[in-house]
Structure 1
Amino acid sequence: MLKGQLLRAVSFLGKHSYPSSYSTASGTKPVDSFKTAMEAGEKLVQPNQQGSFQDPFSIVSYEMTNLAKSIANLIGSGHPTLNRVSSYYFEAEGKNVRPLLVLLLSKSLLKIPVEQRDRITIDTYDVTEQPSYSGTPTATSLAGKSVDDSISPLRILHGINPKVILDPLSKPMDALPQFDSVNGILPKQRRLAEIVEMIHTASLLHDDVIDLSDSRRGRPSGNYAFTNKMAVLAGDFLLGRASVAIARLRNPEVIELLSTTIANLVEGEFMQLKNTVVSNEPLDSINNDGELKVVPQPSGKVPTEMHEYRVTPPPGIDHKTNVEAAFEYYLHKTYLKTAALMSKSSRAAAVLSGSHDDVIENCYQFGRNLGLCFQIVDDMLDYTSSDAAFGKPSQADLKLGLATAPVLFAWMERPELGAMIGRKFSEPNDIELARKAVIECDGVGKTRLMAQEYCQKALENLRVLPESDARSALEFLTNSILTRSK
C-alpha cells in the first residue's frame, strides 16, 4: 500500500513541477508558494468596489480581512478577561486555511446552475436579493428565522436584565451583514467559515495546554500568557459559542457534521496520547508526564465496550505488517485531529449550496485529502524548519514522544527504532538517534512524496466543480501546501 503511494507520488512529481527556490544577491532562498497562495486566495471572496475583477484573485479579501472582527462579535462574552483570552489567538497572524477553504469552495459551488442545486430548499433568508436565484420558488426559511435569530427567546438563553452594565453571560450575537448580488456566497456559508475557525482555535488553546507549549503564531501561547486554567476555559467557551452558531444554521445535516468534528478532535487527541499501535505501556495505565498512572477499572454498572488501538506485536508478525499498522494508526489520528474539520466543513458548504450527492461527496473527499496533505507537511516541517519560521517550537514531535511519518518511514528500514517508538523516545540519546535515522533513511523525502499523493487526490476531487476563478484559486492553494515553510 505504502509502496504504491510512493510510486504514484513520484509519477505526480514528474508531471507537475513548481519553483522551489529563487535567486537573490545573497544566494538562493526557498519560495513559500503556500504563503503566496494564501495571500492570493484571500483576494478571492469579495469583488472590488467597481464590481469587476482586476485579476483572477479578487474574490474573498473583504471576508478574510474582517474574519477576526466577525468572530469577535460571535464570541460576545460580557466578562472582559474571558473576552481577552478567547480573542487572543485571533489577534495574531494565523494561516486561516479552514475559513478560506470554506469561502472559496462556496464561491466555486455558486457556478453550478441553480436548477442543479435543488437537493434542499435554499432559504429565502439565504438568497436575499441575489439575481442568480431569481428563478428559485419562494420558500419560507426553516423555523422562519435567519442565521442571526435565536431559536429560543433571548430572555431564556441569556437570563439577564439588558440594562445591567456588566453582563457575565453570553451576549446576543451581532447581525450578519448580507452579501451583495455579485458575490453570491450564502450568509450561512459565511457563518460556516467563522464557526470552523472558532472550533479550530478552541482546539489550539486546548492543544497548547496538553503539549505544554510556550509559543503559538510567533508569540506566547494562550496557556503561557494567561495560565492553563484560563486557556482551557476560553477554549470551552469558544466551543460553546460555536455550538450556538451551528444550531442557528438550522440544517440538521450540517449540525451533525460540525458537531462530530468537535468529537473527532478529542478522539484524535486521545489517539495521540497513545501515540502509535506499538506501545510498552500496560493496558490498564496511561502515561502522565513520564509517569505511568493506573486508571480505574470499569465497575460494570455502565456497559463499556473497549476499542483498544494498541497492538503489541505477537510472535510471528513480521516487521512490515507492524509498520503498516503504525501508518494506519497515524493516518487515522491525522484525519481526526486535522482532516475531519476540513473535510466535514467542505461537505457542509456543499450541503448548504443545495448541490447533489456526487458534488457533496467530492467536496468531502477534497477536504479529507487536503487535510491529510496539510498535516503530513506539518509533520515534515517539524524536522526541517526553525522555531522562527514555524511560528511554534520545531523539532517538538520527538520530544513529545510522537512517531509521525518521517520516523515511521525510517522505521521501515531500521527495525531497531521500534523499541524507541514504543517507549516514546524517553531514554537518553533516543531523540538524537531517531533524528539521525530519519536523515539517513530520507524519511523527510518519503514523507513529502506521501503528501504529494494526497495533494493530487484533492486536485482530482475539485474537477467535479465547474471551471472558475475560485476553483483555480483552490487548485493553486492545494498545490502550494507542498512548498509552505510554516
Structure 2
Amino acid sequence: MPKTAEAAAQTRPHERLAEALAGEMEAVNALIAERMASEHAPRIPEVSAHLIDAGGKRLRPMLVLAAARLCDYAGPFHLHLAATVEFIHTATLLHDDVVDESAQRRGRPTANLLWDNKSSVLVGDYLFARAFQLMVEPGNLRVLSILSNAAATIAEGEVLQLTAAQNLATDECVYLKIIRGKTAALFSAATEAGAVIAGAPDAVTQALFDYGDALGIAFQIVDDYLDYAGDAGATGKNVGDDFRERKLTLPVIKAVALADAEERAFWKRCIERGKQEEGDLETALSLLARHGTLEATRTEATRWADRAKAALAPLPESDMRSMLTDLADYVVARIR
C-alpha cells in the first residue's frame, strides 16, 4: 500500500533511497551472499556475515545503483559494482578493527573479538579478492581502474592516519587527505563507477564523482564529531573511542590549534605519548567546548554537504537526484 505524504516525509533519506532501489538491492544482496561463500573454509562466510548482516545501511552500494539509474542504465553490471564496493568496505572494516583493537562495531562485538585477529585479516583479504573478481566481470577497463585505484587509496589513507593521527603537528590539510583517502575515496568511486558503467558523458561522470567525494568527506567529519558528542546507542560506538585510540580527528585538531601551553601539554600527553588517566576524556570534552570546536566541526561538515548538493545541480531534475540531495542533508542532520 502506498505511503501517505506525511509518512513519506517522515522517512529518512537513506530509507527512501533504499525503498526506491529495493529490487536492485535484493539482487545485490543475493550476489554478495553467493560470492562470500567458501566451499573449503566455512569461517569465511561466518566472519563475513557477522559484519555484512549487522544492519549497516548499505549506503555505498546504493550510491552505485543510484548513479547508474540517474544515467538511465538498464543493467546488469551495476549489481556487480555495487557488490564490489560493499566487499571493499567490509574488508577495510575487518582490517580497521584489528588495527584499532576495537571491541564493538554497529553495537555488536567485532569479528576480531569473537574470533581472532588472524581470522579478521584473512577474511578481509578474501573479500578484497572477491571484490577484484567482481569488478573485472563487467569487462570495463575504466571501471576497473576507478575501483582498483580506490582500493589502493583507501589503504594509503589508513597508513597516513597511522603516521599522522598521533602527531600534534597534523593540521586540517593532512586530516582532509586522510579522510578523503580512507572514506571519501569509496563514496566517489561508487558514484563515478555507476556513471561510467552507464556510459554517461564526462561532465555527468565528473559531477557524480564530485558529489560522492564531498558526501564522503561530510560523512567522515560527522562520524568524527559523533565520537565526541554522539549517542552510543545510536552510533554503536562508545563516546570517546577516538580519544582512547589516540586519533587526532578534526575536533581535536581545531582545539590543538587554539590551545594554550597547558592545554597543549594535555593533548601531547594524551595523544602523542598515550599516557591517559581517569578523567582525561572529560577534560578533553571540556576543552572542545571551551574553544567551540565541535560546532566548528559541524559547520565544516555542512559546508561539504552543501558542496555535494551543488555538484548535482547541473544534472537533470529527477526523483533520484532529489533523493541524493536529501541524503547530503541527512548526513549532517545525524548531528542533533
TM-score by length of 1: 0.63
Letter in 2 for 1:62: G
For 2:314 and 2:241, the matched residues in 1 are separated by 39
Question: Cα distance 1:350–1:401, how it changes in 2: closer, same or farther (>3 A)?
Answer: same
What corresponds to 1:119 in structure 2?
Answer: none
For 2:257 and 2:214, the matched residues in 1 are separated by 24
What corresponds to 1:27 in structure 2?
Answer: none
Offset at 1:65? 4.1
Q: Residue 249 of structure 1: SS of its match in structure 2? A: coil
State how 1:359-374 maps to structure 2 within 5 Å: 359-374=204-219
Alignment counterpart, residue 18 of structure 2, candidates 25, 42, 45:
42
Give CA-to-partner distance per residue, 1:132-173, whole Å, 9 cap, x none: xxxxxxxxxxxxxxxxxxxxxxxxxxxxxxxxxxxxxxxxxx
Letter in 2 for 1:437: L
For 1:481 and 1:456, the matched residues in 2 are separated by 11
Question: Cα distance 1:418–1:348, how it changes in 2: closer, same or farther (>3 A)?
Answer: farther
Matched, 1:408 2:253: yes
What corresponds to 2:324 in structure 1?
Answer: 474
State how 1:386-405 maps to structure 2 within 5 Å: 386-405=231-250
Offset at 1:64? 2.7
For 2:162 and 2:291, the matched residues in 1 are separated by 26
What corresponds to 1:427 in structure 2?
Answer: 275
Offset at 1:420? 4.6
Identity of matched residues, %: 35
Indicate if the aligned counterparts of 2:166 and 2:247 stay in contact, CA closer than 8 A: no
Q: Residue 186 of structure 1: SS of its match in structure 2? A: coil
Alignment counterpart, residue 64 of structure 1, candidates 14, 17, 25:
25
Q: Which runs of 4+ in 1 moved over 6 A?
A: none
Indicate if the aligned counterparts of 2:166 and 2:246 stay in contact, CA closer than 8 A: no
Indicate if the aligned counterparts of 1:380 and 1:447 stay in contact, CA closer than 8 A: yes
Give CA-to-partner distance per residue, 1:392-450, whole Å, 9 cap, x none: 23311111111111112222321434445455252345544322110111211110100
What corresponds to 2:136 in structure 1?
Answer: 247
Offset at 1:265? 1.6
For 1:331 and 1:35, the matched residues in 2 are separated by 31
Indicate if the aligned counterparts of 2:56 and 2:106 stay in contact, CA closer than 8 A: yes
What corresponds to 1:436 in structure 2?
Answer: 286
Considering only CA atoms, is the larger Rg found in Structure 1 or Structure 2?
1
What corresponds to 2:6 in structure 1?
Answer: none
Offset at 1:277? 8.4
Alignment counterpart, residue 151 of structure 2, candidates 246, 259, 262:
262
State how 1:345-384 maps to structure 2 within 5 Å: 345-384=190-229
What corresponds to 1:104 in structure 2?
Answer: 66
For 1:438 and 1:406, the matched residues in 2 are separated by 7
Offset at 1:88? 1.9
Letter in 1 for 2:197: L
What corresponds to 1:81 in structure 2?
Answer: 43
For 2:23 and 2:104, the matched residues in 1 are separated by 29
What corresponds to 2:309 in structure 1?
Answer: 459
Indicate if the aligned counterparts of 1:205 and 1:222 stay in contact, CA closer than 8 A: yes
For 1:258 and 1:478, the matched residues in 2 are separated by 22
Question: Cα distance 1:274–1:431, how it changes in 2: closer, same or farther (>3 A)?
Answer: farther
Give CA-to-partner distance per residue, 1:237-288, whole Å, 9 cap, x none: 0000111111112111111111111111211111111234845xxxxxxxxx
Letter in 1 for 2:299: L
For 1:355 and 1:223, the matched residues in 2 are separated by 41
Give CA-to-partner distance per residue, 1:6-50, whole Å, 9 cap, x none: xxxxxxxxxxxxxxxxxxxxxxxxxxx997111111111xxxxxx
For 2:196 and 2:166, the matched residues in 1 are separated by 36
Q: Residue 402 of structure 1: SS of its match in structure 2? A: coil
What corresponds to 1:221 in structure 2?
Answer: 110
Structure 2's unaligned 5+ residue stretches are 1-8
Number of equivalent positions = 322
User: Relative contact order (alpha carbons < 8 A, sep ≥ 6): 1 or 2 greater?
Assistant: 1
Q: Which has the higher helix share?
A: 2
Indicate if the aligned counterparts of 1:278 and 1:421 stay in contact, CA closer than 8 A: no
For 2:118 and 2:57, the matched residues in 1 are separated by 26
For 1:485 and 1:391, the matched residues in 2 are separated by 15
Alignment counterpart, residue 206 of structure 1, candidates 95, 109, 119:
95
RMSD, aligned CA: 2.1
Letter in 2 for 1:94: G
Indicate if the aligned counterparts of 1:68 and 1:91 stay in contact, CA closer than 8 A: no
Alignment counterpart, residue 189 of structure 1, candidates 60, 78, 94:
78
Question: Cα distance 1:271–1:431, how it changes in 2: closer, same or farther (>3 A)?
Answer: farther
For 2:228 and 2:286, the matched residues in 1 are separated by 11
For 1:481 and 1:390, the matched residues in 2 are separated by 13
Q: Residue 94 of structure 1: SS of its match in structure 2? A: coil
Q: Residue 464 of structure 1: SS of its match in structure 2? A: coil
TM-score by length of 2: 0.90
Offset at 1:467? 0.8
